[in-house]
Structure 1
Amino acid sequence: MKKNILLVLALFVIMVSCKKKFDDLPIVVTPPVLPPVITTQKIKDLTTTFKFGAAVKTANLKSESAYDNTFKGEYNQLSAEFEMKMNFIWNSETSYNFTNVDYLVNYAQQNNMTVHGHTLLWYQSFPDWFKNANYDSVAFESKVKVYIETVVGRYKGKIKSWDVANEIFNDDGTMRIESQIQGKFKDPIGFVGRCFKYAAIADPDAKLFYNDYNVVLAAGKRTAMKNMAIRFKNAGIPIHGLGEQFHYRISTSQTQINSGFADLVSSGLLIHLSEIDCKVNTTNSPTYVVNSTDLQKQSDFFKNIVKLYNAIPGNQKFAMTTWGITDKNTWLRDSGNGNKEYPLLFDENYGKKPAYVGFLDGLK
């Protein structure tokens, strides 16, 4: 009898210990297997009045056949996700690394794509050597001028359009304080305008854009962009278009998008929806599980913005560009939530998502 009691107690201790160990393990949530989307239509075949682009990485094109095949099979315009930014090209005052840019430009030519250059001037992409040189405004502009002339000139006729400047405004329309040009110049907008001129001289046929995020929601930023464009036009400075990155989420107000987009279009310039993605994990939850309801909301988001874009005057249509191809390697998965974001048109296995169908529906 005593042995039996001891045996029961031992079993109880083991069970409690095991339960504690299991309780301490992280909960692994497996996303549901959702039915594949079947469609033989391709977006690029229906976007006859504007280009359908994606931001890509050289390493993915070279190393993954599914990435390569999806891109060249589904898109007709190329943007570099990061390899055309200044810090990836400008190694020193007289040293440039064009290896990856050359590859991307040649790839586009071989696959009958146009190339949009992103970006010549961005506060986060000034190389460390350049920032540490602490140039005064005259030397600063002289170096930037040579850089723009060198890069745009090298790809004259091959890169058809450029984001000359990127993200120089806060949402309220003031200049970004972290920008290298803020504080360097008494008239920072004047400096930006001269950079547009340098690009135009290097390639007179290139379309030149200013690009920023949150444009349709931030009235102050939108007004600053339009006012800058008006100033440039009045001064004879070539500016052809405005880019709205369109990093939004399924919960973003469609009413606000509609209103802000109409105001942006009133600029009369080319409009580029330049870095489109749509977050479904709207609370940035580490335990989020993708589901059919949110994917349908994402599909509706794409349908609505495509309808908006497709309805603008033909002479203002330029391109719609997704920031990436597949959910597997979206930049948003580096933002702290692991694999808990699914913002693009293709899933991890390059299957077409409901968002792809939403995009198609918006074109009809």
Structure 2
Amino acid sequence: MHSTPNGSAIPRRAPWGDAVARRARVRGALLGGAVGDALGNPVEFLSLDGIRRAHGDQGVRGLTADPDGVVGRITDDTQMTLFTAEGLIRAHARTRATGTAGSEYALVRNAYRRWLDTQNHPAPPDRGGDDPVRTGTLRKHPWLYARRAPGNACLTGLAAGHTPEPGTPLALPGPVNPQSKGCGTVMRSAPFGLVGADAPRAFELAARCARITHGHPTGGYAAGAFAAIVTHLLEGDSPAGAVLRAMDLLARHRGHEETTAALRAAVDLAVPGRPSAEHVESLGAGWVAEEALAIAVYCALVLPGPDDVGEALLLSVNHSGDSDSTGSVCGNLLGAHHGDVALPASWLAATEGRAVIAELADDLCTEFGQPVRWPEGRYPEC
């Protein structure tokens, strides 16, 4: 049993073992991340004052048009999250086929290289051939080829083509972008928590795969903590319980202090029902991994109810920082907790790629669990 900062106990809820409910949460995590991403995309490079000048004193109150006049566009955050999921599906399918586990790192890295390929081409190729970089279920969708301000560390880390040894201790910076702890490690890592692994395994895998592009330990630890939180939410924990359990896991790793301090600040600020943009801004701007995670966690804790999802997502993007990344991570968390039914329907209907995202969530559930038949047409194609 864990306690909140004021000392009250946090009970652990019974897991959602039902396959339909589990699928709703997996869909919720991926679709919620896309909705948060689309909310934050148009205001990513605006200050809070700039957002309020453009949208009124309350800031953004729903999906708005990006500079090209398009509403509902996702960014590299959702793109890379989908490629993470595809890589994990391939790794699990290989394990089933060969009986040999442990290919997750390599196949997630290959998936990220397929994403990098999309960023270097204007549209899907007519033929993928046998090149493993160009093949994959996601490569046929034109909206995944759009460059939406991808992070430099993700681009340079993948272009470098270096693969750290799997046994390298997490606390040691790797040779790829050794000083980088950008939010690119966190914003793509929700799928590590959605595949049914226990929290320590999800933490370790997310942290290792963060090192594909970001060498600073905090980038990996923030990604690992995020994956562990998602795992606990999928198992039935409350947001507060999931965060505190992930912090317990985080504390076992040397060099955790920066990530732990950021999460502790978020927990201490989060008095349910008292959201504040000023509190959000006190946690940082979200350009680095631990700040993006802290902002998303704060918003999920201060507005944790199923009827609060929309307000929590709005809170997570109305600040002077990386609004699409913090919105995406917050959406991942609340979607994993409440399921896709809690996502604002009008926002979801306008979000780019929703049908593909829902299908990939179903593929995750099918590969890592039992298939469930859903009503046709629930997420019509864009």
Q: Same fold (TM over 0.5)?
A: no
TM-score, length-scaled by structure 2:
0.35
Q: Which structure has the greater CA radius of gyration?
A: 1
TM-score, length-scaled by structure 1:
0.37
- The structure whose residues are more often strand, as a share, is 1
